[in-house]
Amino acid sequence: MDYRKRILNLLEYKNHLKVINNKLYIDNISLETIAEKYGTPTFVYSEKRIRENYRKFYKAFRKRYKDVEIRYAMKANSNPYILKVLKEEGSGIDAVSVNEIKLAISIGFSTDKIIYTGVNRTKQELEYAIRQGVLINVDSLSELDKVIRICEKNKIKANISFRYNPEIDVKTHKHIATGLKESKFGLHENDAFIAYKKAKKCKYLNVIGIHMHIGSQITSPEPFEKASEKLLRFAGKIKNELGIKIKIIDFGGGLGIKYKAEQQSIDVDDLATVLIKKYHEAMEKYNLDECKILLEPGRYIVADSCVLLTRVTAVKHTPYKKFVGVDAGFNLLIRPVLYDAYHETVIVNEVFRNEYERYDIVGYLCESGDVLAKDRELPKVQEGDIIAFLDTGAYCSVMASNYNMRERALEVAVKDSSTIIIRRRESYDDLISVYKI
């Protein structure tokens, strides 16, 4: 698909982005103007889009089942400004580290709306979470033993659920498939049964839930349908054979978005229909009690709300390739090198031109792998052009590093036709402040 068709196709799905006078705008503010005001590289978020995505997701489930709550997967993007927006919308938090829990609490999330779904956690981390009263998704039998020891030693109670591994292949990238039989995450059925049986015997454990998370960037309801059938059947088994009444069923997250024009994207209404139908069938089939349903979207909420603005610093023609060099690298946008991920690219200051060429867009790092876009058709690029990488709101800023002693980027939110700095640009002093010199 050529550049013009790609861009026009994607913009149909992104109402916060539009082309006005051949320039790219976000929520009615020119991205070229933002780049000139703040410099590059800069992540730019649409607060409006974040709220729209959250409301669309929540309403899809809420209209089909009354007792449903969202726990935003904070690992997708933990910028405090975004967390405050989602708190206003009524979201809870899915945290994967103690520091995520601490940040969520500092922003005002109540601990009863925080789930701790980490892996390979230390005694200190688990004890902190237990004392805070958050719901802990236990990941293994050895971790369960650790929780029991903490509780018995300190005579404190813990709210727990277990992460169930449904052994489902979701046909996503191998690095983000988490429900496979060979995955490091969760308890397989036999071990999960042993875990619930053992937990029931400990007077300090309040066993209230069951959880799954099968992967990320899933673009079809079918894997969720298969996994939920196994999860709900197992929930019925532990009730009917162990007498444990599940109060919370957590279907996890992992919904994919449309990164490419030709890519399929999941319909959240279809997903809600499938999961709620499966739940109601399970109540009859497996004698389940009415439960609270939790969901943990991350990427779906924030990914397409953001663009990464970069400036072209070089245009290089070799006998074999044409390169566009920009003032960013995989230290800011690691997904292409880590996951072979695709991010659409747009010339912000002149979206369409009469001439087009194919380029590799490469970064400023001293690494051959620092390629942000391969063999990409673009308007004939000129030094000084501003290129926006779309859909960078999830797993970009939070995975950034200081490799090559590069500073992490400025972050800006657009709200009501104004811009707000929500993370300042790092400086040399920031980079050396942790060292003894």
Domains of the chain in start order, with CATH, are: 3-46+303-432 (2.40.37.10), 117-297 (3.20.20.10)
Taking 80 as the threshold, does the pLDDT of residue 216 lie above it? no
User: Per-residue pLDDT tens for 74-115?
Assistant: 999 999 999 999 999 999 999 999 999 999 999 999 999 999
Q: How many angstroms separate the CA atoms of 238 and 261, rounded?
A: 44
pLDDT of residue 218: 87
Q: Which CA distances in Å does 195 have to 135, 182, 383?
A: 16, 19, 60
- Give the closest residue to 14 by CA, choosing from 304, 248, 409: 304
Strands 42-46 and 410-415: parallel
Q: Please enumerate in sequence order all residues whose Cβ is within 8 A of that of 384, keeping only pairs 6 or more positions apart, or say none.
A: 311, 312
Q: Please enumerate in sequence order all residues whose Cβ is within 8 A of that of 190, keeping only pairs 6 or more positions apart, or say none.
A: none
Q: How confident is the model at residue 50 (pLDDT cuts 50, 70, 90)?
A: very high
Average pLDDT, the chain: 93
Q: Residues 151, 202, 291, 366: which is the catalytic one?
A: 366
Taking 80 as the threshold, does the pLDDT of residue 409 lie above it? yes
User: Where is pLDDT greater, at 386 or 213?
Assistant: 386
Q: How confident is the model at residue 179 (pLDDT cuts 50, 70, 90)?
A: very low
Q: How confident is the model at residue 214 (pLDDT cuts 50, 70, 90)?
A: confident
Q: How confident is the model at residue 176 (pLDDT cuts 50, 70, 90)?
A: very low
pLDDT of residue 170: 62
Return the axis-axis angle of helices 189-200 and 222-242, rounded to nearest 10°. Answer: 40
User: What counts of helices (H) and strands (E) characterise the chain?
Assistant: 13, 20
Is 306 among the catalytic positions? no
Half-sphere exposure of 232 (CA within 13 A, CB side): 25
Q: How many angstroms separate the CA atoms of 138 and 119, rounded?
A: 8
> Are 38 and 418 in contact, with CB atoms under 8 Å apart?
no
Taking 70 as the threshold, does the pLDDT of residue 169 lie above it? no
Return the axis-axis angle of helices 268-285 and 222-242, rounded to nearest 10°. Answer: 20
User: Per-residue pLDDT tens for 297-322?
Assistant: 999 999 999 999 999 999 999 999 99
Rg of the chain over Cα atoms, rounded to whole angstroms, equals 23
> Are 328 and 372 in contact, with CB atoms under 8 Å apart?
yes
Beta bridge partners of 161: 137, 209
Within 10 angstroms of residue 373's Cβ, the number of other Cβ atoms is 20
Q: How many angstroms separate the CA atoms of 215 and 400, rounded?
A: 21
Q: Please enumerate in sequence order all residues whose Cβ is within 8 A of that of 309, keeping only pairs 6 or more positions apart, or say none.
A: 31, 34, 35, 40, 41, 42, 43, 44, 348, 386, 387, 388
Structure tokens, 349? 């200051």
User: Per-residue pLDDT tens for 305-364?
Assistant: 999 999 999 999 999 999 999 999 999 999 999 989 999 999 999 999 999 999 999 999
Taking 50 as the threshold, does the pLDDT of residue 175 lie above it? no
pLDDT of residue 180: 44
Mean pLDDT confidence for 386-406: 98
CA dihedral defined by 249, 72, 52, 85, rounded to 10 degrees?
A: 140
**For residue 375, which amino acid is it?**
D
Taking 50 as the threshold, does the pLDDT of residue 173 lie above it? no
3-class secondary structure, 180:
coil
Per DSSP, 212 falls in state: -
Mean pLDDT confidence for 141-163: 97
Taking 70 as the threshold, does the pLDDT of residue 260 lie above it? yes
Within 10 angstroms of residue 330's Cβ, the number of other Cβ atoms is 23
What values do phi and psi take at 176, rounded to 5? -125, 20
Taking 90 as the threshold, does the pLDDT of residue 49 lie above it? yes
